[in-house]
Chain A
C-alpha cells in the first residue's frame, strides 16, 4: 500500500523567511511527485511537479526530490502572508491516480 506522509502542522514562518515543507513516501519505485496548494474552502491548485532527483525551481518555489531517502520537499522563499494555506504532497500512482498526503498547514506571520 503506497503511502505519503506529511506533518499536519501548523508550520508557522515569519514573513520574508524560507518555508520548508516536507513529505516522505513509501514506494521506492515511485517516479513523479506533485505539490498542490489549497486555500481554505477552495480546491487544490498545482504548484509544481518533480520527477528527477535534485532541485526544480519555479519562481519563489523550489521542489526537491531525494529518491534514495524517499522524501520530497518544497521550499518557499521570501514567504508572504498570501502563501498561508495547506500544502498537499502527492505521489503519482497507476491510471493517473494520485496518492495524497494529509497536507501541511502553513501560516506566514506578518
Chain B
C-alpha cells in the first residue's frame, strides 16, 4: 500500500515550452501533497505544499507563476513548469501524505527534467 506514481519519469524539452508533471496516489487518498526539487548531490528542497481544492502554499523564493500547481482531487496533483529554461533542469519529486496515526509522506519516483 501507499504507492505514489509520477508521470513522466523523464522529459526533455526546448527552452520556452511548458511541462506538466502528474503525481498520483494510487491506493490511498492523500491529505496533502508536496512538490520538491533536487539538484545533483544536494538536499531535497521543498517547493510547495498542495491541498485538494485550495491554492498551493509556496516556499519562499519559489515563483508561483512559474511553477503552477493544481490539486484537482485527493489522488492527483499536477506541477506545470511554465516557460521552462535550462536552469529549471532538475529532479522533481512529489510526495503524498497518508493521514491517520503518524502522518507519513510517501514519495513518487521522481521526474527528471532537462531543458535544452
Chain A interface residues (CB < 8 Å from chain B): 32, 34, 36, 41-46, 49, 51, 88, 92, 95-98, 100, 102-103
Contact = CB atoms under 8 A, between A and B. Distances in A.
A96 B32 contact: yes
Interface residues of B, number: 21
B28 to A, nearest CB: 14
Interface in B57-115: 57, 91, 93, 97, 99, 102-110
Interface of B: 31-32, 34, 43-44, 46, 49, 57, 91, 93, 97, 99, 102-110
A86 to B, nearest CB: 9
B102 A96 contact: no
B31 A96 contact: yes
A72 to B, nearest CB: 14
B105 A43 contact: no
A103 B93 CA distance: 17
Contacts of A97: 34, 46, 49
